[in-house]
Structure 1
Amino acid sequence: MNKKLFVMAALMAANTIFAQNKDTENADRLFARFEYVDAAKEYLKLAQKKKDPYVYKQLAESYFNVYNTREAATWYAKATEFPQDAETYYRYAQMLRAEGKHEEANVQMQKFVKLAPADQRAIAFSKDPNYLPRLRSQAKLFDEKILNINDDKYSDFGGVLAQDNTFYFTSSRNVLRKKYGRNEEPYLDMYSATYNNGAFTEPSAINEINTKWHDGPACISADGNVMYFSSESFINGAFVKEGGASTGFIHLFRAEKKNGKWGNIKSVPFNGKTWSTGNASLSADGKTLYFASNRPGSMGGSTDIWKVAIKGDNQYGEPENLGSTINTEGRENFPFITADNKLYFASDGHKGFGALDIFVADLTQKTEPQNLGQPVNSAKDDFSFTFNTENNIGFFSSNKAGKDNMYMAIPLCGVDAIVTVTDKITGKVIPQANVTILDDRNNVIESHKTAMDGTTTYAVDCNKAFTFQAEAAGYENATFTMAASKGGKQQVQAVLNPLSALIVENRIMLNNIYFEFDKSFVTREAAFELNKLVSIMKANPTMVISVKAHSDSRGSDEYNLKLSDERARATVQYVISQGIASERISGKGYGETEPLVRCGDKCTDEEHAKNRRTEFIIIKK
């Protein structure tokens, strides 16, 4: 069972559609009752008779709601041959991403941005449309392992490990239960098992919690004696009745454990008759409850993450929306709060791989949510992340294998690399310096600007060495390394030399410009060094430079002269490409005619390297 059908789709009950016309009346009725499989069959019959953008869109939405990404993308494509609302283009993009078609998804996102430029998701995309390569290469936070207590056929999700090592989860595995008309799977029940060093006992149903409707998922208090769980609003007499069918909402309930059994079940007072409330997480001190809801005040009318203060026995404060740092006009759901105030949640509104991704935000710092990255997140739905600090293990759910399964999230060792950029002469920190981190193959991972205290921090893997390149206006670019570490915080001191220090008499003293063997194109490393010359020339607009490229004595005189001349010209062309007027720089190759070390055929490798150099002569200051 796709959990959106209960845990998320019920949140749309207040937005029930009405029949477009007599032809679509039956299909629309099925859709309004969330019976998407049957609704799709009826819409498909209509689509085969004539072109109808409404039918195409409803077909796409039907498949979207049962997470049939391929069919959803197919019918969104047909629907968008006609003008559509902004959200349709957004959902189409999500389905394309889930199918791995990221360039096509970006095309649809551009249409979404045009129609809804003020939408938080549109603003984020416009700022960083090509974020996926960086997301794929970010430091891995967890390894994953599928749990062996998943049912072979039916859905399992929402796993949470209590402090007493009882593992609670939600499943549709009970084949004796009535089938759910929306997807022909049994209704959801709550189950528990015992966790022991990575293994689980045989799960058993929690009969005192389970009803004839959907039940779960749940969260458990630190002492294991209080449970908040989701169930259907029929228990509270809240539902929408239309066309002879009743549609319920999600409501949140509290239960207490006594003598090993759950009882004293009460509905929380902030449930509503026209909105859903569910998927809760309780703070370690038991004073704050986080939950998902589409109650009034939610952004875009979709599900948001909320919190409420717990003041006593069934006494609560006023629910508070967590705001636009966490919530978007998309769907945010499945919150989980840790003891150190880190909030894990699922979202399809923040930048991800497609569909629902899992994010974490440090609520003490009010930082932007971080995508957990691969392998936890995928192009499919990834959600319901929980963490047990005692066992240092997390759990999450995903339909990446074709149905909702539960996975273990195994934390990886991490290092906080704290880079501090300072002036070599004065020792003062340099704010707004650009710091780029590279992997062991010199591939750029990401770049940050230093804060006012001259620092920026990168979260990287343990047991790996990293390189940092630091740049700042008026300073010499420099490269720094950080050795492999077993974890914790590592300080990297990036000391930059003022560019003025590179001007020595009539020369610009750069590090050697290296080219690949037998090649003359400018490499990334060479460009990094030449940018120092560009900065100096921009700071000194009357300066004129002559580039002299030299080779060592290996190879023929003719070959060395030709190659060094090509490299000199490539160097000049690069500097010109960076905005320096062509009349201010010229270059020439000298081959082996002006050796720095006259050693002939007896040169050592070190002496060859000294002769294989590039000089930057100041012709005019």
Structure 2
Amino acid sequence: MHKYLQVVYVFAICCFGAASASAQADKRIVQAEQYFAKGDYYTAAKLYEQYLAPSSKQIEQAYFPINPKKRKSASGSGAGKGVTKNDILYRKAESYRLANYMNEAIAAYKEAGEKEPSKYNQAWYWKAVCERALGKYADAEESISKYQSNTAGNDPYKTAAENELASIRFIRMQQSRPDTVMFTLKPVILQGTDKGSFAPAQVSGNQFIVTSTEVDTTAAAGVNPNRNRLFQTTYNSGSFDAGEELMIEGADAATQQGAAAVTADGNHLFFTQWTKANNQTKAAVYHATKTANGWGNVQAVTTINKEGYSSKQPAVTADGKYIFFSSNMPGGQGGFDIWYAPLNADGTAGTPVNAGAGVNTEADEQSPFYHNSSSTLVFSSNGRLGMGGFDLYMSKGAVGNWSAVENAGHPVNSSRDDLYFFAPEGAPLLTKAIFSSDRGSDCCLQNYTVTKAPKKEKLTGVVRDLTDNNPVPDAEVTLKDATGKTWKQTTDASGRYTFDLEGNGPYTLNITKKHYKEKTASSQIETTDDKDWAVDILKNKDELIEKRVILRPETIVTVYFDFDKHNIKPDAALTLDSVYNVLTQFPGATLQVSGYTDMLGSEEYNKILADKRAKACKQYLVSKGIDSNRISIESFGECCPLELEMIDGKDNPAGRAKNRRGLMNVVMPKEEE
């Protein structure tokens, strides 16, 4: 992308040749130049058109809001002899382009370029700019080809034309992105007006201040009666309610006003006031305080405004610590830059700091906005590769530490101008955001909402054996969300599990497998792979599970239970008493108790019964005075039978009786072994 180039032309205001000289024609050109210098390009274009086609209808002044963005005109006002009708035709094309009437500009550029290809070869370049803005990319490439075929090596538009081709390639790449289907854009209408609104600034909740246009009925003749003003409104169901002009006592009623910001406490208002004369715009940031009747005590912010330069478009961070703004003051990278300054509780601002070369370019950076929740600076620029005009860009970080700048991409950006971004705090950046664009208008910036559907998320991880760190296959992993909803998976041969996250975090994982201790843990995301446009892969930390200790009958004491019972029988009590004696004799010894069942009954029921048998043994010893912390229990259910329960297809009751057991292993401390 590039800055609009500036070329100065000289126009005659006295005569244009013997055949066309007339007082009426001279007056129209003089008036056209005056309107052009004031930034009323549409009226200027119509006056040029009347001179070129005297039979056309009497000019009616345009009633539309003036975009508050910096417009680089391709020519300046002037006077002199030798000006031809084709010079005026080219001037008309420039006026229509700067007024955003691209179709009219294209026709005029084409005619001027065809009539004098050697003098107005650059008309093909500007024709391409207008065609790109309308989405006519093939036509734009053809126009640039015509320009390049006749350009000289030192032509001032040569680099700009190459940049324009790069923009078209970038546009096509952006439009082919598959994730554009995740975005929803809708215009946000300011009810009660057809003049559009832009630069939304949140006051609190759904209360906003926007910039729009009011018609000054007392404006002097020859002066555009449209005035940009601040309006207070309510955001309601995707549109702004009919706005009421914001009353700021002490503000200069003769200037343009807009691009406001309000501090979180609602006590301080910052806004831009600007004037335009002789094709030069002068802007400054002002501060007002809350009063009983609205806003008052207006003062220029002296630390931000520099004599002879412009500062504009203030934005206050949600935490009230900084004020961001755009300025062409010295100390920047060129053109308008993004600056910031510390903000005090009384509304005064400290010394401004340039956001640096990582953010700013030699061209123009404007309309900054900082989103505290995502630590993201959003701003507009026409100095980077983009889709055309001003694009919105993003940079993560904080003051003094910005990450690489990224284009917000299509469809947030368009081939027109996209500026003035706002997003509510406490939510992802592209959730119910509002920004301004002239993509859907012949003349004006308009607010749009943009919502990006959240990407799908997958939680993946690996279950490993605590002893050797090897993956554990066939483990059952149960995922539970904050509402209690659960999903189940079984680990694959590599111990991996993957869940499509459909619930609400935080999440917990429960892992079970035979011969392993059950484990419950909260998910802990180590990395996120967000390369895929539709799905983010969240890598959970490896979950380590511990094998149960299976006691061997030759090294343990065994007690037996009746069928479907867990009470301690007299003979079992005698065995437990002997275990009690050992534990009493060796205070440092501990006991491991395992409960088992026969194969009758369901696996789930047997696990519960085995647990009861192990606990019964433990409770018997605790009741005799053994500290419960010295006794650990494991419940194996029908696992690991010692005897066959079926022999030759017949039931073996004796075998079943030996499998209904409790195993106890006394673990001696090393010094007592």
- 8 Å Cα contact 1:160-1:395 kept in structure 2: no
Q: Are residues 151 and 60 of structure 1, via their aligned partners in 2, closer, same or farther at CA, if it must alter by over 3 Å?
A: farther
TM-score if structure 2 supplies the norm length? 0.51
Work out the CA distance in 2 between the residues paired with 1:489 and 1:119.
48
Q: TM-score, normalised by structure 1?
A: 0.55
> Contact (CA 8 Å) 1:37, 1:183: kept in 2 or not?
no
Give how far 1:414 is off: 3.2
2:246 alignment counterpart: 206
Q: Deviation per CA, 1:358-387, whole angstroms, max 9, x where unpaired?
A: 222324574443333343333333321111
- The secondary structure found in structure 1 opposite 2:233 is strand
CA distance in 1, matches of 2:100, 2:237: 34
Match status 1:27 vs 2:62:
no
Aligned-partner SS, 1:410: strand
1:188 matched to 2:219? The reply is: no
Return the match for 2:271 from 212, 229, 235.
229
Extract unaligned runs of 5+ from structure 2: 16-28, 55-82, 460-526, 541-673
Residues 370 and 206 of structure 1, relative CA distance in 2, 3 Å threshold: same
In structure 2, the residue corresponding to 1:74 is in which secondary structure?
helix
Change (3 A) 1:189 1:94: same
- The 3 A distance-change label for structure 1 pair 353 and 123 is closer
Which of 105, 112, 134 is the equivalent residue of 1:72?
A: 105
Q: CA deviation at 1:175?
A: 4.5
Structure 1 residues 197, 33: CA separation in 2 closer, same or farther (over 3 Å shift)? closer
- Equivalent residue, structure 2, for 1:143: 184
Distance 1:34 1:105, change over 3 A: same
Instruction: Name which of 450, 454, 459 aligns with 1:413.
Output: 454
Distance 1:82 1:168 in 2: 48
CA deviations 1:290-343 (Å, max 9, x no partner) are: 22233345656x433333344675654554443454444544322211114312
**Paired amino acid for 2:184:** D
Q: Cα deviation per residue 1:133-164 (whole Å; 9 max; x = unaligned)?
A: 22113323642222243444212111122344
Q: C-alpha distance in 2, partners of 1:26/1:310?
A: 45
**Residue correspondence of structure 1 range 293-332 to structure 2 within 5 A:** 293-296=327-330, 302-310=335-343, 316-332=349-365
- Counterpart residue type for residue 287 of structure 1: K
The RMSD of aligned alpha carbons is 4.5
Give the counterpart of 1:215 among 239, 254, 257. 257
In 2: Cα distance, 1:16 partner to 1:315 partner:
40
Q: Residue 423 of structure 2 aligns to a residue in which SS?
A: strand
- After superposition, residues 594-605 of structure 1 pair within 5 angstroms as none
> CA shift at 1:389, angstroms?
1.7
Aligned-partner residue type, residue 101 of structure 2: N
Q: Is 1:385 the equivalent of 2:425? A: no
Residues 475-494 of structure 1: per-residue CA shift (max 9 Å, x gap): xxxxxxxxxx4x57569xxx
1:285 and 2:319 correspond: yes
- Is 1:266 the equivalent of 2:308? no
Q: Tell me the matched-pair count.
A: 411
Q: Say which is worse superposed, 190-199 or 162-171, in terms of deviation.
A: 190-199
Q: Is the 8 A contact 1:218 1:228 kept in 2?
A: yes
After TM superposition, list the pairs within 5 Å mapping 1:118-517 onto structure 2.
130-138=169-177, 139-140=179-180, 142-172=183-213, 174-175=214-215, 178=218, 186-195=226-235, 201-208=241-248, 211-232=253-274, 249-259=282-292, 261-269=294-302, 270-296=304-330, 302-310=335-343, 316-339=349-372, 340-363=374-397, 366-390=402-426, 392-402=431-441, 403-414=444-455, 460-462=532-534, 485=535, 489=538
Tell me the distance in 2 between the aligned counterparts of 1:309 and 1:315: 9
- In structure 2, give the amino acid aligned to 1:253: Y
Q: Residues 417, 130 of structure 1: CA spacing in aligned structure 2 closer, same or farther, 3 A cutoff?
A: farther
Report the Cα distance in structure 2 between the residues aligned to 1:180 and 1:222, rounded to whole angstroms.
Answer: 40
Residue in 1 aligned with 2:93?
60
| Contact kept in structure 2, 1:19 and 1:29, CA below 8 Å | no
Which residue in 2 is equivalent to 1:557?
none
Deviation readout 1:525-572 (Å, 9 max, x if unpaired): xxxxxxxxxxxxxxxxxxxxxxxxxxxxxxxxxxxxxxxxxxxxxxxx
- CA distance in structure 1 between the partners assigned to 2:353 and 2:124 by the alignment: 30
Partner of 2:105, secondary structure, is helix
Is contact 1:277-1:292 (8 Å) kept? yes
Q: Is the 8 A contact 2:314 2:324 kept in 1?
A: yes
Tell me by how many angstroms 1:267 deviates. Answer: 0.5
Identity %: 25
**1:229, distance to aligned residue in structure 2 (A):** 0.6
Listed one character per residue, the Cα deviations across residues 259-311 of structure 1 (whole Å, up to 9, x for unaligned) are 473222210113245332211112233333222233345656x4333333446
CA contact (8 A) 1:177 1:186 kept: no
User: Aligned pair in 2 of structure 1 residues 337, 205: CA closer, same or farther (>3 Å)?
Assistant: same
Q: Tell me, yes or no, if structure 1 residue 37 matches structure 2 residue 42.
A: yes
Equivalent residue letter for 1:149: L
Q: Match of 1:424?
A: none
C-alpha deviation, 1:203, in angstroms: 2.7
Distance in 1 between residues matched to 2:220 and 2:196, nearest whole Å: 13
